[in-house]
Structure 1
Amino acid sequence: MPERSYRQNCGIARAADLLGERWALLIVRDLLIAPRRFSELERRLKGMGTNLLARRLKDMAAAGLVVNGGLRDPYALSDMGRALEPMVLQMVRWSLQWVPIPANPDGLHFPDWDLLALKALFVPNADLAVPVLAQFEHGGWQAWVRIAPSSCAYGLGKPDTPSDVSFPCLVSALRSPAGILRQLPPGQIASAKKFLAAFPLN
C-alpha cells in the first residue's frame, strides 16, 4: 500500500492511491505518447522539480506502472501502465465536453499532446475501405497518424511508408479544415477529407 493511502477497500480508491498523486497522470500522458528520458520528462513537466519527478518515477516503477532499463535508457510504461490508455482518452473526451478551453491559453503546450486528443476524438468508420496515413510537420516537429475502419495509431517522427496526406499543423487541420484543404495539393484532397471526417469536433 502506498505511504499516502485512502485506506479504503474500493477499486477507485486503490487506483487513486497509485495515480492520484500530483503529476502522476501527466507522467502517464507523456509516456503513453512515447518513451522519455528523465531530462525530457523534466523539460515537459515544468514546475514539478527534479526531486519530485525522481520520486514519482520511483514510486510508479515500484507499483509496476513504469519500467526503466538502465541509467541511459528512457522510461516507458509497462503493460499495466499502457492499460491506462482508455481511461486517459476518456478523460480527454470528458474535458473537451465539459471543461472550457481558455480563449487565450498561455500554459505550456507540446504538439504531441494533441495526438492523444486526436485518438480520443476518433470515430470508427466501417466505410473506410482503405487506411489513410497522415503526416504532420510544424516548426521542426513531426508526427504521423494512421486510421483504419476501427483503429487509430500514431507515432513521432516521419512514417515508415509514404503518407497519403501531409498537414502543416495538427490543430489547424481540425479547427479549420476548409482552410487547410485549400492549401493541399489536389492529389491529397480525397485522403484529407476521409481523414478529417474521422475526427469530428462536435
Structure 2
Amino acid sequence: MPDYPKASPMRYDEGSPEAHALNLVGDRWPLLVVRELIFAPKRFQRIRAGLPGISANVLSRRLAQLGAAGVIVHDEKQRFYALTEIGRELLPVIHELCRWAVAVPGHDLFRFISPTALMISMNAVLVPERARGREAIAGFDFGSEAFEVRLTGGKLQVIAVNCPETPFVLSGNGNGLAEGILGAVPLPELMAKGMVSVSGDVAAASEFLSLFNMRQAS
C-alpha cells in the first residue's frame, strides 16, 4: 500500500461507531468518490468526470484521505484507484442512502447524474412487487462507461463491461436514462425526445424500465 498522508484529524470527539465512520468518510465528497469506484477501478480523471464541482486539489486530498483510512488503494504503475474490501463494504450504506433519499421531497433529476450513480440508484427504486419472480438482463451504454444489469431472485447485479452483450442496450447519458428509471417517463417518450436510444428488443427494454420507480408504485 502506498505511503498515503495521515488521515484528517478527528472531527467528532466521541467513541460511537457512527462518529468513527463519519470521521473517515463523512466529509464532503468521500462517499461519492467511493461510489464512482464501486463497479471498477478508475483513473483520476475518470473519477473526476463523475463528480462535477470537485477540483483536482480537493479530489487529490479526498483520495489521500480514503487511502489513509484503508478504503482505497492506488496502483501507481497503472495509475488506477480501486476499492479495498472494506471500501466495497460501503455499497450497502450507499444503497440505503439512496432508498432514504428517494422518499424525501426535493430530488432534482435535472442535475448531473453520473452513470455509476444511476446504476447504484436502480436498487433503491426497484419495485419488489414488480420484480418478484422475474429474470432479465439489460445493457446500458453511456459512451464513457457501459454496464450489464441482471435481475434474478428479486435483486439486481450490476457489472461494468466494455460492450454489453444483452437482448437490448439502452444508450444515453445519466440524466436521460434517469428519467426512465427514477422519473417513470415511458421509454417511447424518451426515445421520441432523443434522450434515450435502444438497440435490440425495444419491448423488452420498455418492460424492464417498468420495474422501477417506487414513487410511481406508491
Aligned length: 195
TM-score using structure 2 length:
0.74
Segment drifting more, 119-128 vs 76-85: 119-128
- What's 2:186 paired with? 177
Is this contact kept in 1: 2:168–2:204, CA < 8 A?
Answer: no
Q: Deviation at 1:138?
A: 5.1
Gap runs ≥5 in structure 1: none
Question: For the structure 1 residues 40 and 181, does the alpha-carbon distance in structure 2 shift closer, same or farther, using more than 3 Å as the test?
Answer: closer
Contact kept in structure 1, 2:147 and 2:158, CA below 8 Å: yes
Q: Distance in 1 between matches of 2:145 and 2:44?
A: 20
Q: Cα RMSD (Å) of the superposition?
A: 3.0
Taking the aligned partners of 1:164 and 1:113, their CA distance within structure 2 comes to 23
1:74–1:182 distance in 2 versus 1, CA, 3 Å: closer
Query: Which of residues 3, 7, 11 in structure 1 aligns to 2:13?
Result: 7
The whole-number CA distance in structure 2 between the counterparts of 1:31 and 1:68 is 12
Matches within 5 A, 1:158-169: 158-159=163-164, 162-169=165-172
What 5-or-longer segments of structure 2 have no aligned partner? 1-6, 193-197
Is 1:145 equivalent to 2:158 in the alignment? no
Of 40, 45, 66, 2:72 maps to: 66
Report the CA distance shift for 1:182/1:189 in structure 2 as closer, same or farther (over 3 A): farther
CA displacement 1:27-62 (0-9 Å, x = unmatched) = 111111432111222333343322322222122112
Residues in 1 aligned to 2:49 and 2:42: alpha-carbon distance in whole angstroms: 11
Deviations 1:10-38 (A, max 9, x none): 01101110011121111111111432111
> Identity over aligned residues, as a percent?
27
Question: For the residues of structure 2 that align with 1:148 and 1:134, how far apart are their CA atoms?
Answer: 12
Secondary structure of 1:133's aligned partner: strand
Equivalent positions of 1:26-105 (< 5 A) are: 26-102=32-108, 105=110
Q: Give 2:170's aligned amino acid.
A: F
> 2:48, 2:170 → 1: CA distance?
29
Cα 1:186–1:4 change in 2 (3 A) is closer
In the alignment, structure 1 residue 196 sits paired with structure 2 residue 209: yes
Contact 1:132 1:164 in 2 (8 A): no
Structure 1 stretch displaced more, 107-116 or 63-72: 107-116
Does the 8 Å contact 2:186/2:206 carry over to 1?
A: no
CA contact (8 A) 2:138 2:148 kept: yes
Query: CA 1:91 to 1:32, structure 2 compared with 1: closer, same or farther past 3 Å?
Result: same
Distance 1:49 1:72 in 2: 22
Moved more, 138-147 or 32-41: 138-147
User: Is the partner of 2:166 in helix, strand or coil?
Assistant: coil
